[in-house]
Amino acid sequence: MKLFIYAAAALSVMTMGATANPIEQRQANMKERGQILRVLAPIAQGRADFDAATVLDALEKLNANAQAAADVDAFYPAGTENGDTKVKENIWSDREGFKKANEDYISKVAAAAEAKPQDVDAFKAVFGPIGASCGGCHETYRN
């Protein structure tokens, strides 16, 4: 019986997450992404020491975060271009371009996590493309 109660509670939590406000979900995802990048960027810029375990942990978290936003249609459904959001309307008018940009970011993050960089130079080599992908998407699809 206890197992049933726990399973029902878990299903309830998952259902609530699935029906949450897409704008709030996007904002939470991007806030988390920013927090992870605040760990990685100073290392790439030489303002913080490289530690392979810290970098790998952050890259794995970034990869999970990217995967969570992989379904563009669910994360950016029609009707969520208005409201408390910093996204440009061209996310909806240039849907294929946005999906391609999102897929590019996801693939770069996955490749970086899979590379498991063991020194700062290897890390910089896999992190640079992530930063470029972020910047390009923000320039095109964010206010």
What are 105-123's pLDDT values in tens digits?
Answer: 999 999 999 999 999 999 9
DSSP assigned state of 121: H
Gap between the Cα atoms of 127 and 125, Å rounded: 6
> Confidence class of residue 18 from pLDDT cuts 50, 70 and 90?
low
Q: Specify whether the CB–CB gap between 40 and 55 falls below 8 A.
A: yes
Provide the b/e sequence for 67-76 (b: ≥16 CB within 10 Å): eebeebeebb
Could you tell me which residue, 52 or 5, shows the higher pLDDT?
52
Q: What is the mean pLDDT of residues 77-95?
A: 93
User: Which tops the pLDDT comparison, 44 or 2?
Assistant: 44
Q: What share of the chain is helix, strand, coil (3-state, %, to 5)?
A: 75, 0, 25
Per-residue pLDDT of 47-79, as tens digits, reads 999 999 999 999 999 999 999 999 999 999 999
Q: Report pLDDT for 5.
A: 42
Return the structure tokens found at 92. 């909806």
